Amino acid sequence: MTALKIGIIIGSTRPGRVGDQVAKWVLDQARAHGGAEFEIVDLKDFALPHLDEAIPPSLGQYANEHTKAWAEKVEEFDGYVFVTPEYNHSTSGALKNAIDFVYAEWNNKAAGLVSYGSAGGTRAAEHLRLILAEIQIADVRQQVSFSLMTDFENYTVFTPAPYHAQAMKTQLDQLVAWAGALRTVREEQQVAAAA
């Protein structure tokens, strides 16, 4: 059996963003944790426009090359860590748009949430949980939240408090377990579809 693959998705494309620093910290924690292969997925690398597919993504009939490239990347993973900012009490438009582009590629996978913002990004994470439920992603309970006031120097340089490492470990424990379990669900579905 191949190793589990977990994508760490940077949910901001804004100039001057801090999400890339948070994602790098998550990657360092994940590599120390083990249990899967981990990779940062930067939405900026995909340059997705506002959703421009005429057919609903649930039908899987993608017309545009940028959608096909994004679908291929999303499909690679057994689970995800979504690193989300909080903008206006919710997740970023860029992340919501990227999620909306594809459908089946997300199904029956697991996710952990890492958020940041003036209130730790907790409201963004709560909205994201509702979105993930609709695309059949099971999100784990443990959340990691960073405050712009205390976990960033001058609101721009990521300096997380040491206690966050334990919370991240707990999230990764849950995420790896759930990603493995949901992989078996997807494999059973593939066998049933081929029969």
Q: Is the pLDDT score of 195 beyond 90? A: no
Q: Express each pLDDT in 111-160 by its tens digit.
A: 999 999 999 999 999 999 999 999 999 999 999 999 999 999 999 999 99
**Superfamily of chain region 5-194:** Flavodoxin domain (3.40.50.360)
Q: Is the pLDDT score of 47 beyond 80? A: yes
Phi then psi dihedrals of residue 126, to 5 deg: -65, -40
Nearest to 99 by CA among 153, 57, 66, 139: 57
Count other Cβ atoms within 10 Å, centred on residue 130.
9
Question: What pTM was computed for the model?
Answer: 0.96
pLDDT of residue 173: 98
Percent of the residues in the chain that have a pLDDT greater than 70, as a whole number: 99
Segment (H or E) for 9: strand 5-10
Q: Is the pLDDT score of 182 beyond 90? A: yes
Nearest to 6 by CA among 33, 17, 18: 33
Give 74 or 195, the one with higher predicted confidence. Answer: 74
Domain chopping of the chain, boundaries:
5-194
pLDDT bracket for residue 1 (50, 70, 90): low
pLDDT bracket for residue 87 (50, 70, 90): very high
Percent of the residues in the chain that have a pLDDT greater than 90, as a whole number: 95
Segment (H or E) for 144: strand 137-147
Whether the CB-CB separation of 114 and 26 falls below 8 Å is answered with yes
